[in-house]
Structure formats: structure tokens, C-alpha cells
Amino acid sequence: MNRKYLGYLFEIAWILPSVAVPIAFMVAIVITAFAVGIAVPGDAGRVDPKALSTTAPFDQPGLRELAPGRYEAVVIAQLFNFSPGEIEIPAGSKVTFIVTSRDVIHGYKIEKSPINMMVIPGQISRMTTTFDTPGEYYIYCHEYCGAGHHLMVGKLIVTPAKTASTNR
Amino acid sequence: MAIAERPAETVSLPRVNVRPGWAGWLSTTDHKRIGIMYLVSAFVFFLIGGIEALLMRIQLGTPDNTFLTPDVYNQMFTMHGTTMIFLGLMPLNVGLGNYMVPLMIGARDMAFPRLNALSIWLFIFGGLMLYVSFFVGGAPNVGWFAYAPLTQKQFSPTAGVDYWIVGIGLTGVASIAGALNFIVTILNMRAPGMTLNRMPLFVWMQLIVAFILIFAFPVLTVATIQLLFDRHFGTRFFLPNLGGDAVLWQHLFWFFGHPEVYILILPTMGIISEVLPTFSRKPIFGYAFVAYSGVAIGFLGFLVWAHHMFAVGLGPLANAFFGAASFLIAVPTGVKIFNWLATMWQGSLNLTTSMLYAISFIGMFVIGGISGITLASPPINVQQTDSYYVVAHMHYVLFGGAIQGIFAGIFYWFPKMTGRMLDERLGKWQFWLMLISFNLTFFPMHLSGNAGMPRRIYTYEADMGWGLWNLISTIGSLLLAVAFLIFLWNVLTSLRRGPIAPADPWDGATLEWAVSSPPPVYNFAVTPRVRSRRPLWDEKYPHLVNGSHEAPTARPRSPLHDGFEREIPAVMEPIHLPSPTYAPLIVSVGITILGFGIIYLGDFGLIAASAMLVGLLIMAAGIFSWVRISHIDSPHHAHHGV
């Protein structure tokens, strides 16, 4: 094998992985989006931050059971807490979080889950996920919001399923 | 080197009209002095930013710590980010560019020397203004990104945000003026024979950065002026409860903020594209690819800003576009990395401190680049948004990349700028300590970030499980401080006792090594003629030109790239240098007083308005003297030639 041909092979050996890496990343996105069901937060409408107390659903923040195992959590983020601050659901529940802010930009991140949204005054953020593993999970504000940013922590409690979880 | 000194007796050297002592620095229009002023002042700001980082690291070293108060902590991270980006990295790059670009292209000064002086003064005053805020009610505490509506008066009542707006505004004017200066200088003042495709790559990168700056910085300036009006004069651009839009600020800010990352990193890519060939004793591999991939990065850099906003909820189409565009940037960046590796391949490496920093740049920048590619993917990004993983990524790019690149440049050019060599033994101690402690500081942040630690939190509880990684980071940051102390010691002792630097200590290929160390005020007694990308190597090793290893019999003639051109007869024109003048300093003082007036106009109308008037009058006086001196200095003016 002559030297030039070897050099050519060498070059190909660099180029192919360089092409393969971005393709692998793209494939990973498609898989996370469609197979694993991880979605990015979407703009779910707008709301006047001054009128939260009179605008449904934010006039009654809290957890609502829509159907067995299907919940909707309406959350208002404000300086420096979440309302409600603690949410308790049985394992296996599918929860849709509908969140907005009363004042400045906040974050809504539930540890060990795909939920991570920027919470923007004037905008409603919405994400849905299923919680299978019982335990206590912190909810962090991850967008810097002022002097009490580090205090802005909530809690999600996933209790063991009510019935023996046979048909999840 | 012969290029510069050959026919010195045949040209009239300029009457060097430099004022002695401090006055010489205050009135200077010499690009070399201005470059040194940039480097020194930026390094002072950089050290202050480093101290702020140390205070934060001490606060975060243990859980539930109360070393700082929450408010002071918030001021620290705001000022750390603002300082490092606007007052540290950017001006360090500008300083190296200011000193080296005219030398590298064979020019005697920047195209607009007085504008250059205005830039340095506005930069220094803008930086000082930011720091004045500490003494008048508190520094800005809204983060360097200053997301609306936290910046509104209702949530941030102190004048800190106003100081941030005006301070950044002044440095912004300085940067835009500087960028125009670089563009005109590089496009118009290259020595004969130095085509664009023969420019040193450092000059290429400075040119690209200048264009990025022209398009990116005005966006920030406009956004901050809108913010100023929101805070004081009743507009509602970013006020959601009055019908404004908080997300608009994020778009405007990141449309500037992402290209800014390339403003910081591209010049350092240029530096290592000079350092690697010199110390590998080989020409750069794939010159055109390195240059044009820089152009590609500069262009793509404007198409990716919303990858800072994946958690906003822009919708799948926007997220997909910005994710894909962010992936694309990895391509030209990868091209550069492979070209640098190929440059070193089979070279005879000379592992000086400068070279070690350049090699380490490649390694650390690749780590930062790979975590960047993972962050470009919207679903992954949404998990990492505002966690310490992002802090780790960003510091691998800007510390492992930009800072190490700047150190490569400082160790490379220090002999040229000061006439003294830096101590290599101390330099290597500094390098290894810095490399280890940098990784000790920032690598654990990947892990604490993946464990869920959000950014910008004042403290955390012990049961969150982030304690160990934070403790390691804090220990690393203290060691980093030691590395910087070694560097300071090295600079201070070498300036006094370092070995005298020869004109060309590293056997360089570019024109700055053709003149003495430090260069004379006029740089080149005779404008050099350039026949290739490596004018000095051509001169020193004529037998190696065009790959020939035999001693030349006759001068090779080839009009192709990198070949020789026909001899151009040297023209002995008189040397024309700008006179020293205080005009740019006076104008900057006026603008700064005007800025103080603007800050307080909303609260103390009459006093502030009179301060603005005083500022405008000083500025007008400065401009008047500016016009006068530029008339006297004009080459057509009779008695002041030479």
C-alpha cells in the first residue's frame, strides 16, 4: 500500500466520524422527542399578569384531578415562592403543569423529571409528564429572580400508588 | 532584521514628539501605547472580576454558608459576568490587536489614531463608572443578562442598573469605534504585497470580529437605551403588566449576546493560529480553511441566539431551527481544530509556555465545544437550562479557550511589547497549576449541574447533595488564584530583571518580528514589501521557499500564491505620525459626565440636567481641539510634515 493511499484512508477516518457525530445527535433528538416523549415547553397562550386573580385558571391555583391518574397543576410563580408550593400526587399520575408568573421571570424545574420551563409574566407555559417513582422531588426556580432566588424552592411528593399498581 | 533597518540613513526619521512621563500616556495616539493601556487596564479589571469569583466560590464552598449576604452575592455574580466579558476578555483581545495588527500588516499606526485614543478612554471610564456603583447605593444585581422585568425600577430600585446601562453604553461606543478603526486599518493600510490572503490569521480574526461587533453591539446599545427609558421616562417596552413584552429583551440581548461569544473567542483562535506554526516550525496547515471558517463562524453566530431561550417556549419550529444552526457552528470550529492539529503533526515542537497554552487551548476548548453541542440540542438543553452544567460549558469555552489563548498571546508577544523576556520556568509552573486547578474548579460543575444545581443561587441546603462538588470547585478556584499570582510576580520581576529580548526571539514568520523589541514609535523605517504569507521566514530561509530544500541558485519566480512577486522598488516617503493630543481624553471626560447626568436625570432633574450640560460643553471643547489638531496634523498642512 503506498503512502498516498494510506494518507487518504487516514483522512477518511477523520472525516467519517466528524459526519457521524452530528447525525448521531440529530437521531438522539428525534428519539427523545418521539420515543421517550421529552418535549420542550410551548407557549400555551397569554395572560394579563395584573389580572391573575380574576382570570381562569389562575384564579384558583392548585392541583385538580381531571380523570383517574390524570392531573392538572395550575401554578403561579412569584417573588419568592410557588403557589401551590407543595404538590402531592400518586405514583403513575400524568400531570400537566400550567404555569405563569405574577411579577418577574422565574423558572419551574422539577428535579429528575423533564419539567423545566421558563415562567414569564404575561405568558402561560405548559408541559406534561408522568411520575412513576415515589419520592420527594424539589421544585427549583432556575431563572435568577432577585434577592430570594435561592429560597424559591417547592416540593413535589409522589406517594406510592393508591391501588396496588398493577395496570399502569 | 533587514526588512526594517536596511536603508535607515536614506529616510528622514520622524521627529518623535512624545511628551515625557504620565503626560505621554494621557496624550498618546500611538497604537502601541494604547494597546498597552488596554492590556493593563483590562488586566486590572480582570483581576477584580477574579476576586469577585473567589468571593462567590468561598460563599458556595459549603452548604448554608453566610460568608456574603444574598444581595452582595447577587452583585458579585452580576459584576463578575459583566466585568469578565466587557472589561476583561474583550479589551484584552483589543489590546493585543491594537498593538500587533499594525505591526503585522506593516503599518505605522491605526487608520484613526485619535479615535483609537477615544476608544481606550471611553473604555476605561465606562469600566470605572460601573465600579462607582458600588459606592453609591449598590452595584447592579440583576445578572449580566439583565432579564426584564427584574431590571425595572419596581424590582431594582437602586441606581445599579442605570450604572450598568451607561457603563456598558460607554464601553460599547468604545468597541464600535475600535471596530471601525480595525476594519479601515486592515482593509486600507496593509504593506504592499500583503493581499487579504497573505494576512496573518490573527489579523484575519480581528477583522472578522470587528465586523461582528459592528452588527451586534448596536443592538445591545439600543436595548439598554429602551431599558433606560422604561426605568425613568415612562415607556413600557419590556413591561408585561403594561402591555410590553419581557421576551423581547431576551431576543435583543441574545442577538447581541451570542455573537459576543465569538467576539471573545475568535481573536484567541487567531492568536493560537500564530503561536502553533511558530513553535511547530511549520506553516499553518490549511490557511484558507482556518481563515474562512472564521468567517463562517462569524456569520452563523448571528443565527443561533435563541438557543439561550429554549426554555421560553418559542415553539418546535423555532427551537428546531436554532438547534440545527447551533450544530452547524460545530463544523467550521471542527475544521479549525483539525487544521491546528495538522499544523503540529510532524512539526518539531518547541514547548514554550506560549505553545503549552496554545495546545491546552485546543484540548480545553474541545471539551467546552462538545458540551456546547449537547446544549445545542433543545431536549437536552431544556434539562440543563440555567444549571451549573451551563456554567461549566461556558467556562471551558471562555477560560479554557479564551483566557488560555490570551495567555498564549501574552507569553508570545511580551518580549516584543516590553523588550524583556518572561521567565519560562515560572511560566510553566503557572501553566501547569492553572491547567490543573482550572479543571478542578470547573469540571465538577458538570456534575453538580447534572445533579440539578441551578445557577445564581446564593446558598443551598446540605441535603441537596451538591456539597462535595462545590467544595472541590472552591479549592480549585483558590489554586487558580495562586497561578495568577505567579503570573503577576513573573511580569513584575521580568519587567525589571528579565533578559533583554532580541527582535525575533521565537524565529517568527510575521512582520512584527522584523522590528526591534520594543518597536520604534514609527514601527517601520521603510514600509516592508511582502511576497508571501510568511515574509520573515522567506527572508531568513530563502532556500526553503516553495518547498525547495536546496540552496537557491537564482531567485525563484512564481506569481502564484505564496510565491514571489516581481521586486517593487522601495519608495522613500517621509514618515508621517500623528501628534500627541489630549482631545480624545477631553471628549471622553465630557461624555462620561454626560453619562452621570443621564443616570440621575429621572430622579434629580435639574442637577442632572446641569451636569449633562457641563458634560456636553466639555465634549464640545474636546471636539474643537480635536478638529484643530487633525487640521495641523494633516499631511497637506505646510510646516508640520515629517
- In order, the DSSP letters of B243-311 are T--HHHHHHHHHHHHHHHHHHHHHHHHHHHHHHHHHHHTSPPTTHHHHHHHHHHHHHHGGG-GGGG-GG
Angle at B503 between CA B499 and CA B506, to 5 degrees: 80
Among B20, B33, B144, B147, CA closest to B88: B144
Which residue in chain A is spatially nearest to B244 when comparing CA positions?
A: A122
Residue B321 corresponds to which cell in the numbers above? 431551527
On average, the pLDDT of chain B sits at 89
pLDDT of residue A163: 55
Q: In chain B, which among 465-484 make CB contacts under 8 A with chain A?
A: none
From A115-124, B411-420, B491-500, the region with the lowest mean pLDDT:
A115-124
pLDDT in tens, B538-574: 888 887 766 544 444 444 443 333 333 334 445 556 6
Which residue among B376, B382, B452 sits closest to A140, beta carbon to beta carbon? Answer: B452
Q: How far is CA B267 from its chain centroid?
A: 7
Q: Return d(Cα B336, Cα B433) in angstroms, integer.
A: 27
Question: A151 is written with which cell numbers?
Answer: 429560597
- Nearest residue of B to residue A112 by CA position? B452
Q: Of B150, B312, B460, which has the smallest distance from its Cβ to A104's Cβ?
A: B150
Q: What is the pLDDT of residue B15?
A: 56
Q: Cα separation of A78 and B118, whole Å?
A: 45
Please state which of the ranges A48-62, B24-38, B425-439, B476-490 shows the lowest mean pLDDT. Answer: A48-62
Of A42 and A97, more confident: A97
Pick from B245, B379, B386: CB nearest A142 = B386
**Interface residue of A104, A123, A124, A145 to substitute, partner B, most B CBs within 10 Å:** A104
Lowest average pLDDT, out of B390-394, B451-455, B615-619, goes to B451-455
pLDDT reading at A60 higher than 70: yes
Choose among A18, A112, A150: nearest Cβ to B70: A150
Beta carbons of B436 and B404 less than 8 angstroms apart = no
Whether B312 and A41 lie within 8 Å, measured CB to CB: yes
Q: What is the 3-state secondary structure (H, E, C) of A119-153?
A: ECECEEEEEEEEECCCEEEEEECCCCCCCCHHHCE
Give the pLDDT score at B637. 59
pLDDT, average across residues B37-61: 96
| Per-residue pLDDT, B12 | 54
pLDDT of residue B638: 47
User: Least CB-CB distance to A25: which of B241, B327, B456?
Assistant: B327
Closest partner residue to A43 (CB to CB) among B141, B315, B373 is B315
Residue B587, pLDDT above cutoff 80: yes
Q: Residue B105 above 50 pLDDT?
A: yes
Judge: A122–B316 Cβ closer than 8 Å, yes or no.
no
Specify the pLDDT at position B553: 44
Instruction: State the pLDDT at residue B24.
Output: 87
Q: Are B323 and B376 in contact (CB under 8 A)?
A: yes
pLDDT band at B270 (very low <50, low <70, confident <90, very high): very high
Instruction: Tell me the pLDDT tens digit for each residue of B125-159.
Output: 999 999 999 998 888 999 999 998 999 988 988 89
| Cell numbers that stand for B411 in this block | 507569553
Q: Among A146-160, B8-22, B466-480, whose mean pLDDT is lowest?
A: B8-22
Chain B residues near residue A116 by CB distance under 8 angstroms: 311, 382-383, 385
What's residue B573's pLDDT? 63
Within 89-128 of A, beta carbons closer than 8 Å to B belong to 103-105, 107, 109, 111-112, 114, 116-118, 120-123, 125
Max avg pLDDT among A63-67, B313-317, B572-576, B613-617: B613-617
Q: What is d(CA A154, CA A132) in angstroms, rounded to the nearest whole number? A: 19
Backbone dihedral angles phi then psi of residue A130, each to the nearest 5 degrees = -115, 135
Amino acid identity, position B5: E
Q: What's the pLDDT at B202?
A: 97
ipTM exceeding 0.90? no
Q: How far apart are the first and last CA of chain B?
A: 24
A-B interface: how many C-beta pairs under 8 angstroms?
A: 143
Residue A7 has pLDDT above 50, yes or no: yes
Answer yes or no: is pLDDT of B9 > 60. Answer: no
Q: Which residues contact B182 (CB under 8 A, 6 or more apart)?
A: B97, B101, B110, B206, B207, B209, B210
Bridge partners of A96, per DSSP, are A72, A128
Look at A116 and B460 and tell me if their CB atoms are within 8 Å: no
Q: Is the pLDDT of residue B7 over 50?
A: no
Do the Cβ atoms of A39 and B334 come within 8 Å?
no
Question: What is the radius of gyration, based on Cα positions, of chain B?
Answer: 25
Task: Find the angle CA(B239)-CA(B240)-CA(B245) to the nearest 5 degrees.
Answer: 80
> pLDDT band at A141, cuts 50/70/90?
very high
Question: If residue A156 lies in a helix (H) or strand (E), which one and from where to where?
Answer: strand A153-159
> Which chain B residues have a beta carbon less than 8 Å from that of A105?
147-150, 246
By percentage, how much of chain B surpasses pLDDT 90? Answer: 71
Q: B376 to chain A: nearest residue by CA?
A: A25
Report the alpha-carbon distance of residue B269 to residue B287 in Å, rounded.
13
Q: What are phi and psi of A135, to 5 degrees?
A: 155, 180
Confidence of residue A39 (pLDDT cuts 50, 70, 90): low
Give the mean pLDDT of chain A. Answer: 85
Q: What is the pTM (predicted TM-score) of this model?
A: 0.90
**What is the Cα B334 distance to its own chain's centre?**
22
* Mean pLDDT of the region B611-625: 95
The closest of B513, B487, B512 to B502, measured between CA atoms, is: B513
Report whether pLDDT(B78) > 70. Answer: yes
Residue in chain A lying closest to B341 (CA): A14
Right CATH number for A49-159 from 3.40.50.10470, 3.40.228.10, 2.60.40.420, 2.20.25.10?
A: 2.60.40.420
Interface of B with A in 327-346 (CB under 8 A): 327, 330-331, 334, 338
Cell (9 digits) for B38 = 488596554
Is the confidence at residue B363, as pLDDT, over 90? yes
Confidence of residue B80 (pLDDT cuts 50, 70, 90): very high
- Give the A window 11-70 contacts with B, CB below 8 Å: 14, 18, 21-22, 25-26, 28-29, 32-33, 38-44, 48-50
Residue B579: predicted pLDDT: 85
H or E element at residue B23: helix B21-26
Give the span between the Cα atoms of B396 and B253, in whole angstroms: 22
Of the candidates B350, B364, B362, the one whose C-alpha atom is nearest the C-alpha of residue B412 is B350
Q: What is the pLDDT of residue B636?
A: 64
The answer to whether the Cβ–Cβ distance between B454 and A146 falls below 8 Å is: no
Please determine, for residue A32, whether its predicted confidence score (pLDDT) is greater than 90. no
User: Could you tell me what percent of chain A has a pLDDT over 70?
Assistant: 90
Q: Residue B457 is nearest to which of A44, A79, A150, comparing CB atoms?
A: A150
Query: Residue A42: is its pLDDT beyond 80?
Result: no
Chain A residues in contact with B378 (beta carbon < 8 A): 29, 40
| Minimum CA–CA partner of B456 in chain A | A144
B74: nearest CA in chain A?
Answer: A147
CA–CA min distance B155, chain A (Å): 8
